[in-house]
Amino acid sequence: MSNPATYSWQQAYLAAVLETDNDLMPLRIYEALATIDQSLLRPMDTIEQRAVDDAQTGLLTLRAERIAEGKQVIHEGQLSEETC
């Protein structure tokens, strides 16, 4: 079985997906999306296009979840302060 192709944008994508520091996560996601956008300026085959589409979807979902999670933590913090 052969290894799948490695694309130039994948390193930034993996850095975002594997980031564990919530403060750095938005920056990593932004960098990955910018790197992917740059790759769209050049021709790519169908396999890479599908991988790019999946990566963009994953990054946008991750960003939305982290933003929602951050708001929930703040909201819960405000509630607990109000009840104290």
Q: Could you read off the pLDDT tens digit of each residue along the chain, which spans 84 residues? A: 445 678 999 999 999 999 999 889 999 999 999 999 999 999 999 999 999 999 999 999 999 988 777 666 555 555 444 443
Residue 36 located in a structural domain: yes
Residue 4 located in a structural domain: no
Q: In total, how many domains does the chain have?
A: 1
Q: Where are the alpha helices (DSSP H) in 1-84?
A: 10-17, 25-39, 46-83
Which residues lie closer than 8 Å to 34 by C-beta, 6 or more apart?
12
Q: pTM for the full model?
A: 0.76
- State CA 27 to chain mean position distance: 9
Residue 30 located in a structural domain: yes
